Amino acid sequence: MQTLYLIRHTRPDIPPGICYGQLDIDVADSFKYEANQILTSILPLDLIVSSPLLRTRKLAEFLAQRCEVRVDARLMEKHFGSWEGRAWDDIPRSEIDTWAADVMGYAPTGGESAQQLMQRVQDFLHDVAQLPQRNIALVAHGGTIRAILALLADIPLIDTLNWQIEYGAMITVRICL
């Protein structure tokens, strides 16, 4: 049996209402408090795998006591392309409507679709299942964690979009291999 700890990064240093996807932004001033909350509630780990983005790597390195940290780009948040760094309210309504009409297939200019996100996360999970380590933390993003949960539960990603995954949240999943 493998235990995966799905951990969302702590609060990012960006104003609310901004689409930030794969922007490489730092963590907020509350980082040490939030990271300590996670550290006190996690069991000893064999391995930590993190998205390469700064907000996840900082948390992964903070949580690494006596275990290795690996970085894997497949854990990155969905790439929102030309929307990244823009206020959600400034994105043309027609683009948002097009996305809403095809949540899985639509990709903003220069970005990726939810289906592409699901494929890279599925490939990642396949590789994780081959690892000998049994207690693994995955430090990632809200969208990536929803994709992992959807794949493990065999439900459509769209059914997870209303799930609230707070900053610093940790979800424990046990997988029988």
pTM of the model: 0.96
Tokens 């408090």, residue? 33
Task: Tell me the per-residue pLDDT of 59-84, one tens digit each, with 9 for 90 and over.
Answer: 999 999 889 999 999 999 999 999 99
Q: Count the helix, strand and coil residues of the chain and give each as a percent rounded to the nearest 5.
A: 40, 20, 40
Q: Residue 140: exposed, middle, or buried by beta-carbon count in 10 A (0-12, 13-18, 19+)? A: buried
Q: Percent of the chain beyond pLDDT 90?
A: 95
5 neighbors 137 (Cβ within 8 angstroms): yes
64 neighbors 42 (Cβ within 8 angstroms): no
pLDDT at 177: 66
1 neighbors 174 (Cβ within 8 angstroms): yes
Q: Percent of the chain beyond pLDDT 70?
A: 99
Contacts of 48 (CB under 8 A, 6+ apart): 60, 63, 64, 67, 68, 69, 70, 136, 137, 138, 139
Averaged pLDDT for residues 19-42: 96
Contacts of 148 (CB under 8 A, 6+ apart): 4, 6, 121, 125, 138, 140, 173
pLDDT above 70 for 159: yes
* Domains of the chain (ranges, CATH numbers): 2-175 (3.40.50.1240)
Bridge partners of 129, per DSSP, are none
Angstrom distance (rounded) from CA 60 to CA 10: 11
